[in-house]
Amino acid sequence: MASSSQRRILRRPRRETNASRYAIDETEDDVVIRQRLLTKTVTMTRNADPPLNKLVQKFLALSAEVQKDEGNHEDIKKLHDAFLEELDTFYLPLTRSKLVVDLKKREQENFKMLHADLKAQLSQAKVEVPELKLQLEEERFSRKPEKESEAIRRLILAFPSRSEAQEKSKEIQKELDLLEREDAAVAASVECRKGILAYLLHAVDDLGNIGANPVESASVSSTSDDFKLMGDAGERAEEHVDNDNMSCSGLPDH
């Protein structure tokens, strides 16, 4: 019984981790696979010999044929040509890979130079931004009078020109002069009519004071003559209303 239990214990499966199943760590798998692909020791096609293995096989076959005592030169030449062909086939992707690597290196150098240029431009832009801000403020301050002048110019253009304004001013001045002359004529006519009215009142007052003495009758006759003179003067004043020399000088003085 003891032996059977011991056999069960010995037959119990052992738990192994994934790390214990491989000779290398999982983190190194990608590096190893990439290195094998670069050295052509493995291939991505199933059941296909890697290029390096094929080249080694061709070389071993050629070496074995050369070491034979028979000296079959035709077979040696065939194996030699096959080895050279395989060698060319092996070097062709390597040459392509080298060209690609060189191209990538040049691109990397170009990108480094471009990165350096962009970094320098960025640094220069950081220096220029405050200066450009200050320059922009100065431009705004300097253009403010220009904008104000432009607004004033547009406002001036909205009004008539100087010649038109002067012509209009002359016409208005002529109208004012005409109105002043008319006002002066009207004022002279009013003054003349005031004198006529005063003289009429004086004549009426004299007519009311007619007495029996001949002196007063003579005075009345004189008053009647003066009244006629006053009427003639009034007519002359009315004739001269539209002229510049309007006066009531024809009226008799009392």
Q: How far apart are CA 50 and CA 32, in angstroms?
A: 15
DSSP string, 122-170: HHHHHHHHHHHHHHHHHHHHHHHHHHHHHHHHHHHHHSPPHHHHHHHHH
Q: Cβ(79)–Cβ(65) under 8 Å?
A: yes
Q: How far apart are CA 203 and CA 223, in angstroms?
A: 6
**Residue in the structure block whose two tokens are 């052509």:** 40
E strands, the chain, are: none
pTM over cut 0.75: no
Query: Along the 254 residues of the chain, how does pLDDT read in single tens digits?
Result: 444 444 444 444 444 444 445 555 666 666 666 666 555 555 556 666 777 778 788 888 888 888 876 667 888 888 888 888 888 887 887 788 888 888 999 999 999 999 999 999 999 999 999 999 998 888 888 888 888 888 888 888 888 888 888 898 999 999 999 999 999 999 999 998 998 898 888 888 888 776 544 454 455 455 555 555 555 545 554 554 444 444 454 444 44
